Copies of this chain bind each other. A is one copy, B any other.
Amino acid sequence: MAEEGFRGPQVCKIVGITYRQLDYWARTNLIRPSIADAKGSGTQRRYSYRDLLELKVIKNLLDAGVSLQLARKAIEYIRQNLGDDVATASLVMNGPKSVLTRSDGEVIDLMRQGQGVLNIVPLGPVVEQLDAAIHELRPAGAALQDEAAPAKAASAGG
């Protein structure tokens, strides 16, 4: 009956990770399925759209060579500070410290004063990648919650 959210294996395909990664991250409290946790073998984890977004951020971080340890801190920061308008923000990490920026100028300022390496994650493209993957891997007849995704008439990107 078309419950809310996304199940484990489907999440893996959408985000582009392996099931073991998803499982490991859930067990180590990186990302728990916020709709429904697993209650033993045979049950199902239910991930929300926001979960997918965070997972995609992590996936991008890992692809960029960032350690999982730093990714944990990044997600922690995002959970506390990122509001609803995701697409316009960029996550900037200076070592263990994270900052959210809304314009390019802020990034330049951070570059000039920053004494270390900066890891920059533009969140706009992340949303686009995610939505594209969801639409592509969404089998017909499973049109569950349209509004879980911040609809925004996705045809902009394609």
Contacts and interface: CB of A to CB of B under 8 A. Distances in A.
A119 interface: yes
A114 B19 CA distance: 28
Q: What band does the interface of chain A fall in when counting residues whose beta carbon is under 8 Å from B?
A: 20 to 34
Interface in A106-158: 107-108, 111-112, 114-122, 125, 129
Contacts of A63: 95, 116-117
A95 B67 CA distance: 13
Contact of A104 (B67, B108, B114, B117): B108
Contact of A120 (B60, B111, B115): B111
Given A65-B67, A108-B108, A118 B116 contact: no
Contacts of A73: 65
